[in-house]
Structure 1
């Protein structure tokens, strides 16, 4: 199947979580003016009629929600996570639900969603079950690692397409916390360094995105907690990770892993 533009690819399995992911993906494809491609990866040939029914039904619902976009659909055989990671090499974006057939409880990602989010070579958005906000800021986690730059650029672009504020959050590393009532002796100096580092990171992109209002937040609480608090009323939370793509190897940052399991809004995981 030949597509002239990179598609937003969404993996669906018939669950309510994957329906929410498909509808979110349709809205995102509409914002980006790119096609939407729905895919069911079926590893049981006896379920082929059901798989075809699911993808056709989801396609119709996405077309009703975002009627102006090109939508294609596909049923393939294989391992869901491996197939979606493979598709990520040519996708603009891969979207999955946070809870699919592999979920055990609310605070655990489905095994497919977790694997795709941390192994894909394109950005991946994990959409939580239930409704998602259509207003509010885009929140980006910022640090001084090399992987931060692609994630911050993705966040600026997301804020631009949503006409929303960007909240750039940098939290001091856990190593700077001292148990008990005592503050770190160099707290003020560390905060000052973090504020200057954050301003420098953000300034790299403000010239290219003059329409995006940016609020910079330096937090003295644990990074995962800081991001989750900032994302309470957000449309999207953006984090980077240090995975190498594919299944050859993986170094998943603890911050990305933490927010994926607990975020109240869709989370975009952007590879470095």
Structure 2
């Protein structure tokens, strides 16, 4: 018999991990999946795994939730569990081993190597607002659009697709200088073409296009100011090049005003 996939959330007893667990619990109910709380190497303070499991059950009575404490490195263990998970969720900050996992290079490793989408829950999650997705015509962008449209459809909310303008627009050395209006018009047309198929598949999702004359981090964070979720692909090109491996990764994962979903392109 096939094993049921679950939503796995890494917890360490800190308030951010509690918020991540509650966000993950709501997402598990939305998708009809069980929630599994995973604590690696114990937590130095805060809620124990049993307390947090009880807190989730009390807050979301219909939730099916289990808890586990195991040894290992947090990011490596979460990457390993991601092979059988539907989604892996973590808080944006923690303490102890999880602080290193979320604020250091291991955070990038988790997002880059997880076999399923990863959500980093930032701030106080919202239950209303649009879903924002970064688009750049790459395989990673395609996977991000799938996740974003699905989330928007289930949450019955609108979707904002953000396209950063070509890098040439930011260069002062390009001659002859490109016409900003022409660049914007072409980018908006190309964005509409990329979204056409998705709009046909999800006719009930209102879609807004945002062609931004800004750096990708600024454009995404600005568009997500009132969003309930920001979705980005694992890898991109153009304005989103190096999304998880450079400064843009740190910008989005550490400065976004809402939960961030990182969707890895399937091999």
SS at match of 2:181: helix
Match of 2:4 in 1: 5
| Aligned partner of residue 85 in structure 2, secondary structure | coil
Alignment deviations for residues 31-85 of structure 1 (CA, whole Å, 9 cap, x no partner):
111110111111xxxx59x79x711111111111211121111111111110001
Provide closer, same or farther for how the CA distance between residues 190 and 16 of structure 1 changes in structure 2, counting only shifts above 3 A. Answer: same
Counterpart mapping for 1:104-115 below 5 A: 109-111=102-104, 112-115=106-109
* Aligned: 1:262 with 2:241: no
Which residue of the partner structure matches residue 13 of structure 2? 14
**Whole-Å separation in 2 of the counterparts to 1:26 and 1:267:** 16
Query: 1:174 and 1:142 mapped to 2: Cα distance?
Result: 14
* Cα offset, 1:97, TM superposition: 0.5
Partner of 1:214: 207
Of 196, 204, 209, which residue of structure 2 is paired with 1:203? 196
SS at match of 1:217: strand
Provide the rounded CA distance (Å) in 2 between the counterparts of 1:220 and 1:235.
23
Deviation at 1:17, TM superposition (A): 1.0
Work out which of the residue numbers 153, 160, 173 in structure 1 matches 2:166. Answer: 173
Deviation at 1:93, TM superposition (A): 0.3
TM-score (norm 2): 0.87
Matched, 1:69 2:68: no
The 2-side partners of 1:17 and 1:30 are apart by 20
Q: Distance in 2 between matches of 1:18 and 1:251?
A: 22
Deviation at 1:98, TM superposition (A): 0.6
Cα gap change, 1:153 to 1:92, in 2 (>3 Å): same
Would you say 1:224 and 2:245 are equivalent positions?
A: no
* Distance change >3 Å, CA 3–CA 16, structure 1 → 2: farther
SS at structure 2 position matched to 1:207: helix
Structure 1 gaps of 5+ residues are: 244-249
The 8 Å contact of residues 240 and 271 in structure 1, kept in 2 or not, is answered as yes
Q: 1:236 aligns with which of 229, 244, 247?
A: 229
**1:251–1:103: structure 2 CA closer, same or farther, 3 Å change rule?**
closer
Change (3 A) 1:215 1:30: same
Name the counterpart of 2:82. 88
Give the direction of change, closer, same or farther, for the CA distance of 1:218–1:179 in structure 2 (3 Å limit).
Answer: same
Equivalent of residue 164 in structure 1, options 151, 157, 168: 157
Shift of 1:189: 2.6
Q: Whole-Å Cα distance in 2 between the matches of residues 204 and 257 of structure 1?
A: 31
The change in CA–CA distance for 1:208 and 1:99 in structure 2 (over 3 A counts) is: same
- Report the CA distance shift for 1:164/1:251 in structure 2 as closer, same or farther (over 3 A): closer
CA distance in 2, matches of 1:256, 1:189: 29
Which residue of 2 is the match for residue 247 of structure 1?
Answer: none
Gaps of 5+ in 2: 237-242
TM norm structure 1:
0.85
Deviates more, 1:143-152 or 1:261-270: 143-152
